[in-house]
Amino acid sequence: MIGVAAVTGAVALARFNARWRTVTRTVAPELRTPTLALPLPHVNRHNLALLRLLVSRGTVPLGVRHDVRTVTVSGRDPVAVHLYEPAVRATNSGALLWIHGGGFVMGSPAMGHEFCGRVARDLGVLVVSVDYRLAPEHPFPAPLDDCYTSLLWLARSAATLGVDPDRIAVGGESAGGGLAATLVHMATDRGEPPIAFQLLVYPMLDERTVLRPDTQHARYYLWDTHSNRFAWSSYLGHVPATEPPPHYAAAARRLDLRGMPPTWIGVGDIDLFLAEDVDYGERLRASGVGVELVIVPGMYHGADDYPDVRTSPTMERFTGAKVDALRAALVNPTSLRNEDR
């Protein structure tokens, strides 16, 4: 038995070392951590309940008021939202509607406590984070409907909340970034409410990435092709195919991007979503939309939220860039023009 255990251990060590060599070849030095070389589980229907319990929770910064309430809009289902604001906020401030990540299938506003609180505190604005329903129990359009309800509530309650209705931004990370992009499409098409800016953090925009042959055997960290396939299948209610999904289901499927608000997109160059994010940014620019596209060398998906590396100088700069983009849109809007930046 000792011999078998020794052989098994040697094989496991050899595999770890091989994966670690891949990490050192592709991941930026500041973002390397031994956990990247471990065989982390793919998200699937068997482990989804457990992974939902393990999703990290942030901490609301000191000096930030945090409130949870249920909001309603006539004719629509109620939605729970988290509100963040500084202890003192000027009347008629800007506001950010934030949408958390988790591949449409997991996560909660608690993931964004730290970022949402920082934005509220540093910029003196109101941040509203949506606790939208999750797939596969609630596939499209339920999550997007919850986001639109929250956006309508924020805009229609602007006077009561002390918010300038002309300075409302929409943002999100990963699946939340994809929901943010389609939410902007929906609001633009329906004419309500106006969106001043969108912040898309490594957004999940295109279900066709699941079908791309070049992604099938490449190594991606924290979010890979297997998890992506399960997530899109859960959200759409079927495995992605070449045929277009329903309108507003996938932001990258929209052909006409004219009239979208100024946009910030940030993604790492070893992120599974790199190609779809860059393509979306370029198509926005071609449509006359002002776009700031930030590509971080050696950054994998979700590195700015990953406990081992999120305080590294590289990720501090990345997070700072997000806050600065929101500052330009919500605090100093005259500095933001709808043209290439």
Catalytic residue among 129, 174, 227, 233: 174
Per-residue pLDDT tens over the stretch 193-222: 999 999 999 999 999 999 998 887 678 999
Over residues 112-125, the mean pLDDT reads 98
Residue 65 dihedral angles phi and psi, to the nearest 5°: -80, 135
Q: Which domains does the chain have, with CATH numbers?
A: 43-333 (3.40.50.1820)
Active site residue 247: no
The per-residue pLDDT for 40 is: 82
Predicted confidence (pLDDT) at residue 335 exceeds the cutoff of 90? no
Interior angle at CA 58, CA 56 and CA 16, nearest 5: 35
The per-residue pLDDT for 339 is: 46
Catalytic residue among 129, 185, 301, 305: 301
Active site residue 174: yes
Give Cβ neighbours of residue 97 (< 8 Å, ≥ 6 apart): 128, 129, 130, 147, 150, 151, 154, 168, 169, 170, 171, 180, 183
Helix (H, G, I), strand (E, B) or coil at 337: coil
Over residues 99-123, the mean pLDDT reads 98
Per-residue pLDDT tens over the stretch 295-316: 999 999 999 999 889 999 999 9
Per-residue pLDDT tens over the stretch 219-274: 899 999 999 999 999 999 999 988 899 999 999 999 999 999 999 999 999 999 99
Per-residue b/e over 174-198, b at no fewer than 16 CB within 10 Å? bbbbbbbbbbbbbbbeeeebebbbb
Helix (H, G, I), strand (E, B) or coil at 193: coil
Catalytic residue among 131, 145, 164, 271: 271
The per-residue pLDDT for 295 is: 98
The per-residue pLDDT for 11 is: 67
Strands 79-86 and 93-99, sheet pairing: unpaired
Interior angle at CA 81, CA 79 and CA 87, nearest 5: 155
Closest CA to 187 of 261, 284, 246: 261
What integer best gives the mean pLDDT of the chain?
94
